[in-house]
Structure 1
Amino acid sequence: MSVEEEINDRIGEVRTDTFDMSFGEISNLHKNRELVIQPEYQRLFRWSNQQRSHLIESILLELPIPQIFVIENQDGVLELIDGLQRTSTVLQFIDPDSVGLDPLTLEGCTLIRALNGLTFHDLPLSLRLSLKRAPIRTVVIKKQSRGFLRYEMFKRLNTGGANLEPQEIRNCSARMIGNEGVKFYSFLVDLTQDSNFSACSDYLPQPEKEKKGAEELVLRFFATKNARNLFRGSVRDWLDNYMEQVLLEHHVFDYAQEEAEFRNVFRLARTKLGETAFLRYRGTMPVGSLPPAYFEAISIGISNTKADIEHKSADTLRNVITALVQSDAFRAVTGPGANSREKMETRIQLVTDALRNA
């Protein structure tokens, strides 16, 4: 099949409709739960009050506003997948109760300074109606569209943008696949609540936690365990590709077996190495925050040696790993330039050998 024929075959697999919707209509749809915003998948507000105020100012001045994308679920309900900041800003201004926030007071408006200090109800009626009637171009991805292409559309809309972090994009993208995507996303979230994993991953920096870093670590564990062959130097692409293989069932993922393995590995990590299992060490003292390269090497090293270490002394194993992570050999494959599959395999093998021979 030629490139042209392949493209022609795929055109139309995503069915869309495009029209202008007023912000008043959007507000009513949201109130009636006919338009869903999922703040657990996209953090609701990252814009500052000034950024939000600039949007309201732009709408009142009839300046162009970028379009939004919604997806039509099987029951006909629309779910917002791109344009969260714009939509939620207007909802907060027009009807703050609908998003559970305090009224937005405009600040930092530079084109119409008289707007500063005003809320929606401070505006003259003509401006309130103008804002509600202002249109925004809305692209609806119809429910008849194929799940994988809906997934790809969401990912491409958001990849490279400043609003969402890589794991948040994966989480939202998974929903586009349908039930299998929701199942996998929920699986990752559930495992972050495992008490042993949670204790060991608590050393993630707070900004990383806010970016769904714990969920990314869970995904990274399974990718390192099951798909090191997909790694080409970019962690982001590797995790994206692995998750896609699971969602599209190109990779067999036995949920019960994988969950049991995960919980067992992190039980051993915590009981044998302690809650600082994945940290750097200076002498006998753990230092700094959790480095992902240490996490993947030590967690998979434990996975490789479960039967060997089950009855070994915790003190012995902790001393062995503490010495290993300070060794020149381990540092050589975890420092700058360590993002290669060869170095990943080497650091995993170093941990595996150290635990097995302890």
Structure 2
Amino acid sequence: MTQEEKPAAVEPRVEFDDSGRSTGIELTEDTNNGGRTTPFDPNRIEVQPRNTTISLLLQRLRRGALDLAPDFQRQAGIWSEANQSRLIESLLLRITLPTIYAAENEDESWAVIDGVQRLTAITRFVDPEAIDAEPLRLSHLEYLAEYDGCTFEDLPGRLQTRILETELVILLIRRGTPEEAKFNIFARINTSGLPLSRQELRHALIPGQARDLLAELAASDAFLTATAHSVSPDRMAEREMCLRFLAFKLTPPEQYTTQNFDDFLRTTMHRINELSEQELEKLRDSFIYAMVASVIVFGPDAFRKQFKNRTRRFPVNKALFEVQAVTLSDLSADKIVTLAPQRDVVSSNFMDLMDDPAFYDSISSGTGAAATVAYRFQSLKDLFQKVLDA
């Protein structure tokens, strides 16, 4: 982008959920422009097909050896009662179901990546207590309408057995396969709609307390207020935003040297899984402080691009979220109080900053490159210091 080409002339693109609705998040590119990731050894990739029965899968689920990650289901795409019932009808009619994709964890448990909704529907019908769900009553059946209204227990014994002995094909990515390879493989899978988002993949492949912390922060009143309730949870975009904040709290921007932002976020989830409760509480407090401070300093324009002579409200920008939130979290309460009555001054200076092509690019494209990360953090730090020194 040249000096003559004003950033304000560029309309931001947005991310969409499965139904084509805006997620409320500006679409940005997190990788380094033209960058390449370190290739993994294809000889270390082990993919193994497994044929197993529904009965055996349910045993795995009850033992905690099968992770369906129920909150991984996209809210916009959760199957209706009729769709779930039709799946059960397919089993009763001996219609083969599509392959299910899963990853094997170090403890030999399986994390289901593609097929969550199918297995959830089956479990809800056969053993709803295993996932703490309401029992499924069959409805809108096409060929076996005589079983409309039936639960699993209402079916004749022979049909119960038919379901329990149904074989499903699991394509299992074995443990020992490089994590980056797992992400690459599953990112290519598209059997039930849009390909999984990067955060959906992180959520599915990296179990542990990081999952719970991100869900907690994304649902907090402080986050919802700071983002004006405008971020859709359908593709876990709001959890990725929280993860970006935590990533730069655990690794200060000046220590960020990688060009692979996705790897950086994955590593952060693993680090969070190893933190003590005291360390988690410190992160929680810092996050809430940052959200409150963002509202105080930026008001309804927090985490959004602002331009002179432009009155429209832009979508939330992930790079702006991390840089504004992290930088404000590092300021003392006294400095936040000092900035509070100078919101207009902060806004004016921020719009001047948006006219800087280098800063604009640092929050719009190649946002994961070390140089752009350093530039946007230093630029915002300088902005606040300029206002505080005035």
TM category, shorter? 0.5 to 0.7
| 1:60, distance to aligned residue in structure 2 (A) | 1.7
**Residue 70 of structure 2 aligns to a residue in which SS?**
coil
The match for 2:45 among 4, 11, 14 is 14
Residues 26-69 of structure 1 deviation map (CA, whole Å, 9 limit, x = unaligned): 22332343434332455698111121112112222222211223
Partner of residue 138, structure 2: 106
| Higher mean displacement: 153-162 or 311-320 | 153-162
- Paired with 2:181 and 2:133, the residues of 1 have a C-alpha distance of 34
- Paired with 2:152 and 2:333, the residues of 1 have a C-alpha distance of 66
1:1-358 mapped onto 2 (5 Å cutoff) = 10-11=42-43, 13-42=44-73, 46-157=78-189, 161-162=193-194, 164-175=196-207, 182=208, 188=214, 198=223, 200-201=225-226, 203-205=228-230, 208-221=232-245, 226=253, 240=262, 242-244=264-266, 263=287, 266=290, 269-270=293-294, 272-273=296-297, 276=300, 278=302, 290=316, 292=318, 295-296=321-322, 298-299=324-325, 302=328, 306=331, 310=335, 313-323=338-348, 330=354, 339-340=364-365, 354-358=383-387
**Cα root mean square deviation, aligned:** 5.0
Partner of residue 10, structure 2: none
CA shift in 2, pair 1:310/1:212, >3 Å? same
Residues 203-252 of structure 1 deviation map (CA, whole Å, 9 limit, x = unaligned): 2336x235433321123446788499989xxxxxx853542576799xxx
CA shift in 2, pair 1:65/1:194, >3 Å? closer
What TM-score does the superposition give when structure 1 sets the normalisation length? 0.67
- In the alignment, residue 23 of structure 1 is paired with which amino acid? I
**Residue 313 of structure 1 aligns to a residue in which SS?**
helix
CA contact (8 A) 2:215 2:239 kept: yes
**Residue 209 of structure 1 aligns to a residue in which SS?**
coil
CA contact (8 A) 1:155 1:170 kept: no
CA contact (8 A) 1:120 1:128 kept: yes
- In the alignment, residue 130 of structure 1 is paired with which amino acid? R
Residues 234-277 of structure 1 deviation map (CA, whole Å, 9 limit, x = unaligned): xxxx853542576799xxxxxx8x95996597178248527646
- Paired with 2:101 and 2:366, the residues of 1 have a C-alpha distance of 37
CA contact (8 A) 1:106 1:115 kept: yes
- Paired with 1:193 and 1:93, the residues of 2 have a C-alpha distance of 29
Residues 296-349 of structure 1 deviation map (CA, whole Å, 9 limit, x = unaligned): 56446647x948982762343322234456x597499899xx833599999878
Partner of residue 252, structure 1: none
- In the alignment, residue 89 of structure 1 is paired with which amino acid? A
CA shift in 2, pair 1:316/1:160, >3 Å? farther
- Paired with 1:95 and 1:332, the residues of 2 have a C-alpha distance of 58
- Paired with 1:260 and 1:33, the residues of 2 have a C-alpha distance of 28
CA shift in 2, pair 1:348/1:15, >3 Å? closer
What TM-score does the superposition give when structure 2 sets the normalisation length? 0.62
| 1:84, distance to aligned residue in structure 2 (A) | 1.0
Q: Percent identity?
A: 21
- Paired with 2:94 and 2:187, the residues of 1 have a C-alpha distance of 30
CA shift in 2, pair 1:300/1:151, >3 Å? same
CA contact (8 A) 2:291 2:325 kept: no
| 1:93, distance to aligned residue in structure 2 (A) | 1.0
- Paired with 2:349 and 2:383, the residues of 1 have a C-alpha distance of 8
